[in-house]
Amino acid sequence: MVEVSDAKIRELEEKARLLRRHILKMTHQVQSGHPGGSMSACDIVTALYFDVLRVDPDNPTWTDRDRFVLSKGHACPVLYAALAERGFFPVKELMTFRRINSRLQGHPEYGTTPGVENAAGAEGQGLSFSVGLGLSARLDRKAWRVYCLMGDGEQDVGQTWEAALAGGKYHLDNLTAFIDRNGIQQEGRTEEIMPLEPLRRRGGASPSWRTSCGTTGPRPRTRS
């Protein structure tokens, strides 16, 4: 268990608020995109980019960087907002989101946007990609880690379970996977469309995965 100070938590909460503001502005100005799935992932992405990931905005392709794989690519506004605030490109570029010729397209493209590690849009592929990355780090005897963020509706894609089985089989202790359990997918509540519970017991589909559940979300600002 990693200890995080109260001051750091307050700093991260403030940063997450800032990212949420960016997400609203980006999707509102173009009247397009997925603000909901971006908002629900905001605390996870904030914690990763501002406390956990070893990345270098001045050298986005640094060989030894940690890799963040956004499997639910439609939530890229949160990724772009985090990358901009972390210094990978100018914050003002966020307002080009989903515009023609922008580097910030509606689904992330590898090689187009500094800091983006995978192409995504068709749900269900990110964990397989992450397993491959984890295996390659191990083969190269590298210490970098892989963090993969998936949606809960995305668990309906069978490929995620195949990837989880493979990750378990190979005991990939350099891979951390998140499922953003916001309870909703495009056409309704996850439990109505394809029930997932008990999700925790199914976690990783293999006993080799250590699983834990947490709650995220903005807390009301306290006056001091």
Ligand X SMILES: Cc1ncc(C[n+]2csc(CCOP(=O)(O)OP(=O)(O)O)c2C)c(N)n1
Residues that bind ligand X (CB under 6 A): 34, 36-37, 40, 72, 74-75, 121-124, 151-154, 157, 180, 182, 184-186
Shortest distance (Å) from residue 79 CB to ligand X: 13
Shortest distance (Å) from residue 150 CB to ligand X: 7
Q: Which of 136, 130, 118 is nearest to 178 (CA)?
A: 130
Shortest distance (Å) from residue 75 CB to Mg ion: 9
Shortest distance (Å) from residue 181 CB to ligand X: 9
Rounded CA gap, 222 and 224, in Å? 6
Shortest distance (Å) from residue 139 CB to ligand X: 29
Q: How far is CA 189 from the centre of its chain?
A: 21
Query: With respect to Mg ion, which residue has the nearer C-beta, 169 or 189?
Result: 189
Query: With respect to Mg ion, which residue has the nearer C-beta, 23 or 184?
Result: 184
Shortest distance (Å) from residue 74 CB to ligand X: 4
Q: Which of 102, 63, 104, 78 is nearest to 23 (CA)?
A: 78
Q: Which long-range contacts (CB under 8 A, 24 or more apart) does 3-8 make?
A: 4/51, 8/51
Rounded CA gap, 152 and 62, in Å? 31
- Residue in the block written with tokens 């992450």: 130
Question: CA–CA distance from 181 to each of 33, 53, 79, 160 (Å)?
Answer: 20, 22, 18, 15
For Mg ion, the binding residues (CB under 5 A) are: 151-153, 182, 184-185
Rounded CA gap, 195 and 199, in Å? 9
Q: Which does 98 bind (CB under 5 to 8 A by kind): ligand X, Mg ion, none?
A: none
Rounded CA gap, 94 and 90, in Å? 8
Q: Which does 82 bind (CB under 5 to 8 A by kind): Mg ion, ligand X, none?
A: none
Query: With respect to ligand X, which residue has the nearer C-beta, 87 or 106?
Result: 106
Q: Which does 186 bind (CB under 5 to 8 A by kind): ligand X, Mg ion, none?
A: ligand X
Q: Which does 204 bind (CB under 5 to 8 A by kind): Mg ion, ligand X, none?
A: none
Q: Which does 115 bind (CB under 5 to 8 A by kind): Mg ion, ligand X, none?
A: none
Query: With respect to ligand X, which residue has the nearer C-beta, 37 or 167?
Result: 37
Q: How far is CA 115 from the centre of its chain?
A: 13
